Amino acid sequence: MSVLMSRASSLGATDSFVPLSRQSSGPLRTRPPTTATSVASQEIICAVSESRGISSTVGLTFINLSTAEAVLCQICDSQTYVKTVTKIGVFEPTEILFMNTAKDSKLFYIIQENIQETTFTFLDRRDWSEKTGHEYVDRLAFPEDIESIKITLGGNYFAACCFAALNKTFTSHSLRIRFEPSQGSMLIDLSTIVSLELIQNLQNARSKDSLFGLMNESLTPMGGRLLRANILQPSTEVSKLSARYDAVEDLFTKGEMFVSIRQGEKHRSLASPILICYASNFQQPSRVSSTQIKS
């Protein structure tokens, strides 16, 4: 099963924008895996949308082009957008999409200052359509997931709009889509993540001497990313934690099952590049006109 990635529709032209005397335009540039904690150089695109009212409601959608997975969420945030910045930091997107009306917004400024090595792209307002987002769910989600996802998106307008902005073409019903609520996990701010060396060693960025580096024995890209996400946003749901403890106990007490699972994961990791194929340069210059800022 192949997954073809491309812009499915033309995007409106945007004006130039120069933040802090830096401007860059052109094709997407993915960050190199320069540290020992990079997760298999995965390419993740994020779309961000914000409410216009006094309350800071932020919609986020992430699509992992390497694993064909989409994560949708909507956050009721504070005026400092700490939850939004932390959420984006967990996923480490290589590109972040905004409406072109958000160029001078406080949200864009805060994200730009806190999220490094990311390309920022501004799209026309018409690309953020709630109706289109629901149509994508119908066409792309696994059949058994469609109904539950659409019910959830019914009360999360901004998340649906963000999903529409991530305008990709996949094989029908081949995209794993899930909605991730903002509740049910701990919030660890970015300064604490850095000072505790949860993901990266402060003295040597290439060293594995961090919590993630010491724990990461995963065999697949998704395994490494799941571990990273759980370090940065530990779950507080008792049922989820109990299920994990039960799984660990089974693996610890049933050695043959543990070895079999490890062997199976090794074979699956070798097959992943074949099963998930996409064009890395998913932008089509003849059909896309947008402004990109390299932070």
Q: What is the pLDDT of residue 46?
A: 96
pLDDT digits (tens, 9 = 90+) for 185-230: 787 877 788 888 988 888 888 888 999 889 988 887 778 878 888 8
| DSSP letter assigned to residue 197 | T
Phi then psi dihedrals of residue 248, to 5 deg = -65, -40
Instruction: Tell me the two tokens of residue 165.
Output: 């902005």
SS3 letters for 17-75? Answer: CCHHHCCCCCCCCCCCCCCCCCCCCCCEEEEEEECCCCCEEEEEEEEECCCCEEEEEEE
Of 12, 43, 98, nearest to 280 by C-alpha is 43
Instruction: Tell me the two tokens of residue 255.
Output: 């050695």
Q: What percent of the chain is predicted at pLDDT more than 70? A: 75
CA distance 212 to 194: 12
- Which 3 state secondary structure label does DSSP give 240? helix
| DSSP letter assigned to residue 125 | G
pLDDT digits (tens, 9 = 90+) for 2-52: 333 333 333 333 333 223 223 333 333 434 343 333 454 688 999 999 988
